[in-house]
Amino acid sequence: MRTPARRFLSRTRYRALRQSLFRPNRWVEKGSAGGIFAGQFFCLTILLLACLPACASGSSLKLATWNLGWLTSRPAGDSALPEGIYRRNEADIARLASYADHLDADVIGFQEVDGAPIAARIFRPPKYRIIMSGDHVVQQVGVAIRGSLSVTRNPDLTALNVYPPDAPHALRSGLDITISDGRASLRLLVVHLKTGCWDNPWAERQHACPTLRSQFSVLDNWALERNDSEEAFAILGDFNRRMTPADPFFLFLKQDAPLTLTTAGRASPCWGGEYFIDHIVLGGKARDWLRPDSLRVTTYHDPGVTPAQLSDHCPVSVRLAFP
């Protein structure tokens, strides 16, 4: 779950953030659940992307991450759910599925989803296949993959659960897969890290920062292994960290392997404006595959609909040019 940026910013800094969000409008996608999408900048996006070859040709792949915010079909009062969690109705599910259709990504790493059946109502077959982590928790991570891509399932990165065995709750594993279009392969790690250390100093000993540092150490080792094996790779998901190129957590992550933070220098327009905590980080040859200026945030455009009905996160995507 994200925490709104305004809660942590002065009025002056928040106003500056809001102004900066809409200068580069070309990377904002607007949509409605009815499937009609407005705005001159969205039209520009469509024109630009229409000029690109389809993913099936092996030349372009749209990679996205989307935290779906406690998406579950469990009944109200289920012991696995915290009190006060909003349960989506059929109209909410239909809206989310419409946004997934509009996003039209080839691969979507998602978070906070309670199993493959509810995920498949958003990312519908036969267009997508669903793979979930092996965690026995409500807020699982998973991935929806376009059917034209081949997939290899690697062991989950269970080391991200840095809690001791007797801890009352476990932390989420990373979902590790390799996708291929038959000519190039991309290793993907979908993550949802510990919340609570948004922009605190590296040496912070309170809140969730020691836990997040431990998880970043696990990610650093995973990235180093990918780099040593000369794999193209990406780490994507909800990092629960407002990473920038100068952020000490990101600097630690890239100390052993060159990485590209695709959200660098941007602020997200999601729900009126916030700093990114959902990121796509590229490593190895994938850094060279990133299409310039391809970062997009799909914003919601449904008057009267609340974040609980959709998600308090917006889909974030980039395009990669496969060799």
Q: For residue 272, is it left (φ>0), alpha (ψ between -120 and 50) or beta?
A: left
pLDDT tens digits, one per residue of 184-214: 999 999 999 999 999 999 999 987 999 999 9
Read off the pLDDT band of 78 (50, 70, 90).
Answer: confident
Q: Let me know if domain 5-52+59-320 sits in CATH 3.60.10.10.
A: yes
What mean pLDDT comes out for the span 100-116?
97
Amino acid at residue number 80: A
Question: So what's the pLDDT on residue 14?
Answer: 41
How much is the pTM? 0.84
Helix residue ranges per DSSP H, 104-254: 116-119, 209-228, 248-253
Task: In whole angstroms, give the CA distance from residue 145 to residue 127.
Answer: 8
Asked if the model's pLDDT at residue 265 lies above 90, the reply is yes
pLDDT tens digits, one per residue of 4-61: 443 334 444 444 444 444 443 445 665 544 332 333 333 333 333 333 334 444 479 9
Task: In whole angstroms, give the CA distance from residue 237 to residue 64.
Answer: 9
Cβ-contact 107, 188 below 8 angstroms: yes
Task: In whole angstroms, give the CA distance from residue 270 to residue 313.
Answer: 7
Cβ-contact 128, 86 below 8 angstroms: no
Beta strands 28-30; 107-113: pairing state: unpaired
What residues form DSSP beta bridges with 13?
none
Question: So what's the pLDDT on residue 281?
Answer: 98
Question: So what's the pLDDT on residue 5?
Answer: 40
- Encode 83-99: b = buried (16+ Cβ within 10 Å), e = exposed: eeeeebeeebbebbbbb
Cβ atoms < 10 Å from Cβ of 39: 15
pLDDT tens digits, one per residue of 273-294: 999 999 999 999 999 999 999 9
What mean pLDDT comes out for the span 246-269?
96
Task: In whole angstroms, give the CA distance from residue 318 to residue 294.
Answer: 5
Asked if the model's pLDDT at residue 215 lies above 80, the reply is yes
pLDDT tens digits, one per residue of 147-185: 999 999 999 999 999 999 999 889 999 999 999 999 999
Domain extent listing, the chain: 5-52+59-320
What percentage of the chain's residues is helix, strand, coil (to nearest 5)? 25, 25, 50
Joined tokens for residue 172:
């989420």
**For the ranges 103-112, 133-142, 150-159, 183-192, which has the lowest average pLDDT?**
133-142
Phi, psi of 13 (to 5 degrees): -65, -35
Helix (H) or strand (E) holding 49: helix 40-50
